[in-house]
């Protein structure tokens, strides 16, 4: 399989990160061929069998207080088809994991029982490690039953040799006294906390780490105004993935997510110095992941961009609309300025949402053997506004623009 529309190298055992735009089931044979026995940690956040349609909510210029809803994915697969699909995915995950690897399946109580039995059959009951309860606070209270305020995360290992490091996710105990602890001063004048149990006295300092149990109450659901939010309906917090990734992988290890969605797994893996393989069938997922990686606080040099994110156009995103631009050349340099954009797809009120506010990402670079290599890029401001529109590159053959809009449409425009 060769790359046709984005950064990077061919699908294989490279050292870079990889996003595949395509269906998880359809791409499993290719992934297994290239990555069987190489993946350290797999996190899956599949559809939850809700029967709902979910959206990406974006603020566009002119309507900053009214986010626009763009369809992201449809969770209405019939139950029989859903469990058939999940069975194939989970079997593939077993082949992809190395002997030290682990799988985390994030679901809710409606599908938990079915999928746990399925996982027992694939991984073996002895390789079930934990059912993690992620409890969160959110609005609304039920009147006819206890309020539903948790998700289930099923944690399985590939073998008994699985890597797990609880020390990597400890947090300082702090000044809060728990379990009837006494606050005292030790012989060196330090404040410590003591507790008696079984005839022994245990002493802890404020710096003594404490570790999470299988009920996670300290990671909150993302609020609407959280700066981490991308607008994706079912986005999970990076803190959740950071805990999973740090505890079950080492720097440089491969982390995989076959339902990339908002890109949280890949983003958290990248920040933790892990490599990632992410798959999703929605072009919006491609755009969101690109944005999250390129919006990191650290400044990325142009020379680092090809290794930062490899995007393989397997399913081919919808084609972009009509982009008008100007290009000037002088002193061996090409300058491109965007002028206007008319999308190929639209919203209910396309006369309002047109123009450069719909361009989400644009890069100027070169096409080499079907692979786009960027020299400079800009992304649309997350909270609404028009994409900065000046691009610079050496004036060389095969000069091109890679453009993506807010609908996930994407394409390469050759500059003559």
Tell me what the mean pLDDT of segment 40-45 comes to.
98
Please write the tens of the pLDDT for every residue from 172-214: 776 655 666 777 777 667 777 788 777 887 777 777 788 999 9
The side-by-side arrangement of strands in the sheet containing 333-342 is 322-330, 333-342, 390-394
Same domain, 225 and 95: yes
Q: Of all residues in the chain, what percent carry a pLDDT higher than 70?
A: 85
Same domain, 50 and 133: yes
Same domain, 189 and 163: no
Q: What is the pLDDT of residue 124?
A: 98
Q: Is residue 289 part of a domain?
A: no
Please write the tens of the pLDDT for every residue from 275-332: 999 999 888 898 888 888 877 643 443 334 434 445 554 557 788 889 999 999 988 8
Locate tokens 């079984």: which residue?
198
Determine the Cα–Cα distance for residues 364 and 414; give it in Å rounded to an integer. 10
Task: Return the higher-pLDDT residue of 387 and 241.
Answer: 241
Q: Give the strand pairing for 215-216 and 128-135.
A: parallel
Of 187, 210, 233, which residue sits at a domain end?
210
Of 180, 210, 240, which residue sits at a domain end?
210
Same domain, 106 and 78: yes
Among 36-50, 238-252, 276-290, 311-325, the range scoring the smallest mean pLDDT is 311-325
Tell me what the mean pLDDT of segment 376-380 comes to.
84
Q: Is residue 301 part of a domain?
A: no
Neighbour count for residue 131 (Cβ, 10 Å): 13
Same domain, 239 and 339: no
Please write the tens of the pLDDT for every residue from 62-103: 545 567 788 888 888 899 999 999 999 999 999 999 999 999
Same domain, 376 and 392: yes
Same domain, 275 and 401: no
CB 374 within 8 A of CB 309: no
Determine the Cα–Cα distance for residues 277 and 93; give it in Å rounded to an integer. 12
Of 246, 264, 280, which residue sits at a domain end?
280
Q: 378 lies in which domain range?
A: 322-414
Same domain, 185 and 140: no
Tell me what the mean pLDDT of segment 404-414 comes to.
88
DSSP assignment string, 171-182: EE-TT---TT-E
Please count the structural domains in the chain: 3
Determine the Cα–Cα distance for residues 135 and 240; give it in Å rounded to an integer. 11
Determine the Cα–Cα distance for residues 283 and 287; give it in Å rounded to an integer. 6
Same domain, 218 and 75: yes
CB 129 within 8 A of CB 155: yes
Is the pLDDT at 45 greater than 90, yes or no?
Answer: yes
Same domain, 224 and 206: no
Q: What is the pLDDT of residue 352?
A: 52
Taking CA 331 as the corner, what is the angle to CA 326 and CA 337, rounded to the nearest 5 degrees?
20
Q: What is the CATH number of the domain that holds 371?
A: 2.60.40
Same domain, 200 and 123: no
The end-to-end CA distance of the chain, in Å, is 28
Same domain, 65 and 110: yes
Q: What is the pLDDT of residue 13?
A: 43
Locate tokens 């009147």: which residue?
143
Which residues lie across from 157 on neighbouring strands?
Answer: 102
Q: Is residue 308 part of a domain?
A: no
Task: Return the higher-pLDDT residue of 352 and 169.
Answer: 169
Q: Is residue 343 part of a domain?
A: yes
Determine the Cα–Cα distance for residues 388 and 372; give it in Å rounded to an integer. 20
Q: Is residue 384 part of a domain?
A: yes
Q: Is residue 256 part of a domain?
A: yes
Among 89-93, 165-169, 257-261, 310-314, the range scoring the smallest mean pLDDT is 310-314
Q: Is residue 285 part of a domain?
A: no
Q: Is residue 15 part of a domain?
A: no
Q: What is the pLDDT of residue 181?
A: 76
Is the pLDDT at 129 greater than 90, yes or no?
Answer: yes
CB 3 within 8 A of CB 10: yes
CB 253 within 8 A of CB 41: yes
């Amino acid at each position: 399989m060769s790359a046709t529309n984005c950064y990077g190298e061919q699908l294989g055992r490279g050292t870079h990160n990889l996003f595949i735009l395509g269906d998880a089931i359809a791409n499993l044979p290719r992934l297994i061929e290239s990555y069987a026995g190489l993946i350290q940690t797999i996190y899956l956040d599949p559809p939850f069998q809700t029967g709902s349609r979910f959206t990406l909510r974006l603020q566009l210029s002119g309507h900053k207080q009214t986010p626009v809803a763009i369809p992201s994915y449809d969770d209405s697969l019939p139950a029989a088809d859903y469990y058939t699909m999940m069975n194939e995915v989970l079997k593939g995950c077993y082949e992809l994991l190395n002997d030290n690897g682990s799988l985390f399946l994030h679901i809710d109580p409606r599908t938990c029982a079915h999928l746990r039995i399925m996982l027992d059959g694939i991984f073996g009951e002895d390789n079930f490690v934990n059912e993690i309860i992620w409890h969160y606070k959110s609005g609304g209270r039920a009147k006819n039953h206890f309020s539903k305020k948790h998700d289930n995360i099923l944690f399985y290992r590939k073998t008994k040799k699985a890597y797990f490091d609880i020390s990597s996710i400890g947090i300082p105990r702090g000044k809060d006294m728990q379990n009837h602890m006494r606050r005292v001063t030790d012989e060196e004048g330090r404040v410590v906390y003591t507790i008696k149990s079984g005839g022994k006295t245990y002493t802890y300092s404020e710096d003594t780490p404490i570790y999470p149990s299988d009920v996670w109450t300290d990671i909150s659901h993302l609020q609407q105004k959280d700066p981490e939010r991308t607008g994706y309906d079912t986005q999970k917090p990076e803190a959740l993935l950071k805990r999973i990734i740090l505890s079950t992988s080492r720097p440089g290890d491969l982390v995989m997510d076959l339902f990339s969605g908002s890109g949280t797994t890949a983003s958290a893996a990248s920040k933790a110095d892990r490599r990632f393989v992410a798959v999703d069938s929605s072009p919006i997922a491609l755009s969101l992941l690109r944005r999250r990686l390129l919006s990191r606080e650290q400044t990325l040099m142009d020379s680092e961009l090809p290794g930062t994110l490899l995007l393989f156009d397997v399913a081919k995103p919808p084609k972009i609309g009509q982009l008008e631009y100007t290009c000037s050349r002088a002193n061996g340099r090409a300058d491109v300025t965007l002028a206007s954009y008319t999308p190929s797809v639209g919203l209910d009120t396309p006369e309002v949402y047109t123009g450069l506010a719909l361009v989400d990402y644009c890069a100027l670079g070169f096409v080499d053997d079907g692979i786009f290599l960027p020299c400079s890029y800009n992304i649309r401001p997350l909270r609404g506004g028009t994409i900065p529109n000046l691009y610079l590159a050496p004036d060389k053959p095969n000069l091109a623009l890679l453009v993506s809009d807010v609908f996930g449409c994407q394409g390469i425009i050759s500059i003559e």
